[in-house]
Amino acid sequence: MWALRLPSWKSEPELVEVPVPVPGPGEVLVQVGAAGACHSDLHLMHDFEAGALPWEPPFTLGHENAGWVHTLGEGVRGLEPGQPVAVVGAWGCGQCQRCLGGYETLCARPDLAPVPGGGGGLGMDGGMAEYLLVPAARHLVPLPDGLDPVSAAPLTDAALTPYHAVRRSQHKLGPVSTAVVIGVGGLGHLAVQVLKATTAARIVAVDPRESSRDSALRGGADLAVAPGPDAVQEIRDFTGGLGADLVLDHVGSDDTLALAAAVSRSLGDLTLVGIGGGTLPVSFFSLPYETSVQTTYWGNRHELVEVLDLGARGLLTAETTLYTLHDAAQAYLDLTHGTVTGRAVVVPTDDYRA
Ligand code: NAD
Ligand code: ZN
Ligand code: ZN
């Protein structure tokens, strides 16, 4: 089969032929229906030095996957070949206190996990291929009626990550509150929809791209602004001078973190999602009183069930730009150049259509 693989750090991905994996006991082979191209993959290609992460290339890219159960390994029960499924992306040990609490993203025994601190497309082979080997059936969530793999794949990361982030601040997002979404790309346009579907907060979106600001307004944002010298005042004015109870920064540069701090409110949350590598100086008087600064990482299996339910009910809809597997490298080039609408999604089956 064909697979888009990252050969080494600081390199471009390559489309190569590899054998179709054979599922061992407890494993499941999934026919990939769709694999999203995440900006994190660009960080993998361009930013990280050897040793920065607890795993190494080569591996097949694609950590945002959905498809159909193809072959069950020995002992797997409860799934049927042909069944549509979404793949939970972080593969922990499954047995430690964190994993049992649903946080395979934060597995406390990475030495017992199939890959320490990673998953398919993050240290192990991912979904930018015709088939994906999933090491345990618990990583598969059956798709509810109304969702196909192409609509479901972006929900497993681009929606799940902001969903988890918003849930962590849910108690701060009552009617008299404002949430600011900085960066309205793959994650950000779904962050707006998550806020709209699950909170009463007013929503402000920030992105230099007009198409992204339009997407935010379609998704339920009350105000969409371009970053720049006027952005802080525009946002503070919109909140009646109070500031935002939650700022989700999907970029994470020095500039966006500074904007996030400047529009934060006392008792609010400033949540860093983006891996842009910027920093925010934090001291007692640099932020409003009792503002919390935090990172957030991906989401949990039970949250994915909830996200898929919102998707099936039409409350979360990823805007997608589709590519074949043979064009998957182009998807990443387009993501680099900022020309993707919503999420770039690779559909391997499109390579074989007449
Ligand atoms: P994307 O490329 O689809 O979207 C990024 C958006 O940010 C674009 O719309 C771009 O126009 C906008 N942007 C760029 N500069 C900006 C600025 N100065 N102000 C406002 N907006 C700006 O990327 P994505 O796939 O949505 O990922 C976003 C970030 O989140 C990446 O850094 C990615 O690695 C990270 N990420 C983190 C997690 C996590 O668990 N924490 C999970 C997935 C992705
Ligand atoms: Zn991702
Ligand atoms: Zn664990």
Per-residue pLDDT band at 210 (split at 50, 70, 90): very high
CB 185 near ligand 1, within 6 Å: yes
- pLDDT digits over 52-65, tens only? 999 999 999 999 99
122 lines ligand 1 (CB under 6 A): no
pLDDT of residue 353: 59
Q: Compute, in angstroms, the gap from residue 42 CA to the centroid of ligand 2.
A: 10
Distance 114 CA to ligand 3 centre (A): 10
Instruction: Please say if the pLDDT value at position 51 is more than 60.
Output: yes
The β-bridge relationship of strands 178-182 and 244-249 is parallel
How many Cα atoms are found within 13 Å in the side-chain-facing hemisphere of 322?
A: 12
Query: 328 with 307: CB under 8 angstroms?
Result: no
Question: What residue has token string 């290609």?
Answer: 45
Residue 324 is predicted with a pLDDT of: 97
For all residues of the chain together, what is the average pLDDT? 97
Please report the pLDDT score of residue 354 as a whole number.
42
Question: Residue 215 to residues 9, 46, 153, 250: CA-CA distances in angstroms?
Answer: 33, 28, 19, 15
Q: Which two tokens stand for residue 260?
A: 């996030």
183 lines ligand 1 (CB under 6 A): yes
Q: Which atom of ligand 1 is nearest to the CA of 164?
A: 40
Provide, for the chain, the percentages of residues in helix, strand and coil under a 3-state DSSP scheme, each rounded to the nearest 5. Answer: 30, 25, 45
Q: In what order do the strands lie in the sheet with 178-182?
A: 223-225, 202-206, 178-182, 244-249, 264-272, 292-295
Q: Is the CB–ligand 1 distance for residue 186 below 6 Å? A: yes
For the segment 215-220, the average pLDDT, to the nearest whole number, is 98
- Strand stretches in 91-210, DSSP E: 119-120, 123-124, 131-134, 140-142, 178-182, 202-206
Ion ligand 2 — residues with CB under 5 Å? 38, 40, 157
**Residue 36 CA, ligand 1 centroid: distance in Å:** 14
- Distance from residue 104's CA to the centre of ligand 3 (Å): 6
> Does 250 sit in the ligand 1 pocket, CB within 6 Å?
yes
Atom 30 in ligand 1: residue holding the nearest Cα: 274
The three-state secondary structure class of 354 is coil
pLDDT for the residue 351: 75
Mean pLDDT for 100-108 is 96
Predicted TM-score (pTM) above 0.85? yes
* Ligand 3 is an ion; residues with CB less than 5 A from it: 92-93, 96, 99, 107, 109
- List domains and CATH numbers for the chain: 2-157+299-347 (3.90.180.10), 161-295 (3.40.50.720)
Output the pLDDT for position 265: 98
CB of 172 sitting under 6 A from ligand 1: no
Alpha-carbon radius of gyration of the chain = 20
Q: Cα–Cα distance between 107 and 94 in angstroms, integer?
A: 8
Token pair 């489309």: residue? 15
* Residues 227-231: contacts with CB under 8 Å, at least 24 apart: 227/182, 227/255, 227/256, 227/259, 231/206, 231/259
Q: What pLDDT shows up at residue 350?
A: 76
Structure tokens at 124: 């192990």
What is the band of 92 on the pLDDT scale with cuts at 50, 70, 90? very high
How far, rounded to the nearest angstrom, does the alpha carbon of residue 316 sit from its chain's CA centroid? 14
Predicted pLDDT of residue 352: 65
Whether residue 205 contacts residue 216, with contact meaning beta carbons closer than 8 Å, is answered with yes
Ligand at shortest distance from the CA of 96: 3
Residue 215 reports pLDDT greater than 80: yes
Please tell me the least confidently modeled range out of 39-43, 98-102, 245-249, 347-351.
347-351
276 lines ligand 1 (CB under 6 A): yes
Mean pLDDT throughout 261-277? 98
